[in-house]
Amino acid sequence: MSLASQSVAGSLLIDAACLLAVRQQVRADDFEVAADRAIFEAACRLADAGQAIDVVAIVQNARKHGADISDEYAATLMKVTPTAANAAQYASAVHSEAVRRRLSEIGMQLAEASGDMARTPAGIISETAAALEAADAAPQAGMCTSSDALSAFLDYRAQLESGQAVTVGTGYPGLDKLLGGGMLNQGLYILAARPGGGKTTFGLKVAESAAKTGACLFFSLEMSTEQITARRIAAESGLSIGRLMVGGGLRDEEQAKLANAASVLSTHDFRLNRAPGASVSDIAQAAHLAKNLRLVVVDYLGLVRSDERGLSIYERVTKNSAALKSLARSLNVPILCLAQLNRAAEQRADKCPSMADLRDSGAIEQDADAVILLHRPAAYEAKQPLPWEAQPLTAIVAKNRHGNIGRLDFDFWGSSGIIMEHRLEVGGGV
């Protein structure tokens, strides 16, 4: 029997005016003794309903909701409570005791989970971290008063006025303008295209731009580290990706370009996953460990694993999309997630994609702060452009919660992966 728990319940019976201070320190599930918890919950219900609160009202309300509280127990609580003036301190002690109990339970669950070979270590770590965070969650976690919300917004405005970054640039001024200043911290951004449509190349450009000012984590779930690095060097140097990957010996001038590009890229805080696959738990673990994190890029959503077994592709993508949205909020950085488009656009006369073409889950559109669709008309032409020739590439901002929709035109060089922006049309037909 916890003396602190009894003292909190007794304080509420003696003087209900202490309820506000108690609610700031303790939550209902902190009470180990059911009767003490019932008294606290009854007092809260009466207060929320605007009804008078005294010992009789509390006991009657608790009994009405199924609690077995005798008159003798209520009298005992009031007798053993030294003073209601210290109710906040008693409540704080109750919360501390509860946190210790939860930590002990988490320890036992961790020991059990570590022996379950069907679970991944990353998943266990992620779940344990979430449980540890929840163990000491403040009462009414996640809620704030109107005053607190307004204060937080004014702080946000002060950051804007002082020039502090609340967005991450894409490396393309026109796209940043269209998005409302760049990718907003805590936002989930979707970049989608058909296979071979340029989404990895475009995503790398955005990642490279972010890596100049802080850490950018790039999770490539389709290409090896060598393939991604070759694309980075090609975009920086103008060298052919093919020459870098399978072209054999390089000429002296090509070696010089490679060395110079490598020197420039080495100054960027660009981090690439070594393992071929990753779950949202894996991504979260790496992101939480990163210092000065600016951006997370995932290539691509359909290949993100799930820690749950037996899910359909639709279920997996739906869950992962929501989880990445939550992760962006937790990290306070944007997440750029690449995605595949289905073949529906190929049936249209203009071959132009729409959000309805997003593959595997309708939740992607719902969760995203902005959706950017890439359209490369040459992909549908019988005669393909030569690799060293520029070809048009259109980025369609089809959804944008924080700015405009519209189209941007780019020149795309397939051999090197260089993409250059050249025209902006705001609000154009999407």
Q: What is the largest CA-CA distance in the chain?
A: 94
Tokens (6 digits) for 353: 């994609």
Which regions of the chain are under pLDDT 50? 141, 429-430
What angle, rounded to 10 degrees, do the helices at 55-64 and 3-14 form?
A: 120
Residue 62 lies in a domain: yes
Q: Which domain holds residue 79?
A: 3-115
Distances (CA, A) of 154 to 83, 141, 295, 313: 40, 22, 24, 42
Residue 288 lies in a domain: yes
pLDDT of residue 97: 92
Residue 280 lies in a domain: yes
| Same domain for 305 and 203 | yes
Residue at which a domain ends, from 94, 115, 136: 115
Read off the pLDDT of residues 68-108 as tens digits, 9 standing for 90 and up: 899 999 999 999 998 998 998 999 999 999 999 999 999 99
| Same domain for 183 and 71 | no
Please state the domain count of the chain: 2
pLDDT of residue 370: 94
Residue 237 lies in a domain: yes
pLDDT of residue 425: 57
| Same domain for 61 and 177 | no
Residue at which a domain ends, from 115, 130, 146: 115
What are the residues whose beta carbons fall under 8 Å from the beta carbon of 87, sequence distance 6 or more? 7, 8, 11, 12, 15, 18, 21, 22
| Same domain for 172 and 107 | no
| Same domain for 184 and 66 | no
What are the residues whose beta carbons fall under 8 Å from the beta carbon of 369, sequence distance 6 or more? 184, 187, 188, 189, 400, 401, 402
CATH of the domain at 93: 1.10.860.10
The predicted model scores a pTM of 0.65
| Same domain for 182 and 109 | no
Residue 213 lies in a domain: yes
pLDDT of residue 336: 96
Edge-to-edge order in the sheet of strand 215-220: 270-272, 215-220, 293-299, 335-340, 188-193, 370-375, 390-400, 406-413, 418-426
| Same domain for 193 and 55 | no
| Same domain for 266 and 181 | yes
- 168 close to 183: Cβ distance less than 8 angstroms: yes
pLDDT of residue 404: 87
Residue 123 lies in a domain: no
| Same domain for 326 and 387 | yes
